[in-house]
Amino acid sequence: MDKEAVFNKIQLVFMILMIGIAMVILADFEFSSETLTERVDSKYKRLENRQSTGRNYYYATHIQAGTYRIPVSEDFGDDTKEGHTLSFEKSLVFNEVNRVANRDTGLSEKFSFRWMTGCIIPLFAIIVLVLGIKRREKLNTLVFVTEVILLIDFIFLLY
């Protein structure tokens, strides 16, 4: 076997491994290991600054329930009061909060950042990597960038 054939086989194995990682992340996003119920101890809204062309601030809303600090949307935070009962689903592998529901108001949501890390990035990676296996020579750069993004996402979920 020449060096190029060996390199192509190693690259193919790595791409299949990355597809497996993306599928684990997707499964972790979709399935929960346990549902916990906690009372809201406190909630707070913090003004965050950022450099942008629009307004240079936004409000980050967090709810403290037991030992968990959960980021929520502004609407969910406004409707949730101290003493309300929250139930939240924790993910199977990475121990992330997948969904939070307020039992007193009936509201439920998945935080948008969790959608990005648990669903959008892995789905995008699976599509690009499958296309990359079929058209390897044309998509090398896109496949590499996607693999790096998926690895960063995976490391982020681990810690």
- At 26, the pLDDT band (50, 70, 90 cuts) reads very high
Residue 1 resides in a domain? no
pLDDT tens digits for range 39-86: 999 998 888 776 666 667 777 889 999 888 888 988 898 899 999 999
State the CATH number of the domain containing residue 79: 2.40.50
Regarding whether 128 and 99 lie in a shared domain, the answer is no
45 domain residue, yes or no: yes
Residues 65 and 123 in one domain: no
Q: Quick one: 121 and 63 in the same domain?
A: no
Question: Are residues 93 and 122 both part of a single domain?
Answer: no
Q: Yes or no: say if 41 and 64 are a contact pair by the CB < 8 Å rule.
A: yes
CA angle, residues 39, 92, 122, in degrees to nearest 5? 115
Contacts of 23 (CB under 8 A, 6+ apart): 122, 126
Sheet bearing 57-65, strands edge to edge: 68-72, 57-65, 32-49, 85-91, 97-102, 108-109
Q: Which domain holds residue 141?
A: 7-30+116-158
Please check whether residue 51 lies inside any domain of the structure.
yes
How many distinct structural domains can be found in the chain?
A: 2
C-alpha–C-alpha distance, residues 16 and 116, integer Å: 22
CA distance 72 to 59: 11
Q: Considering the entire predicted model, what is its pTM?
A: 0.83
Residues 13, 81 within the same domain: no
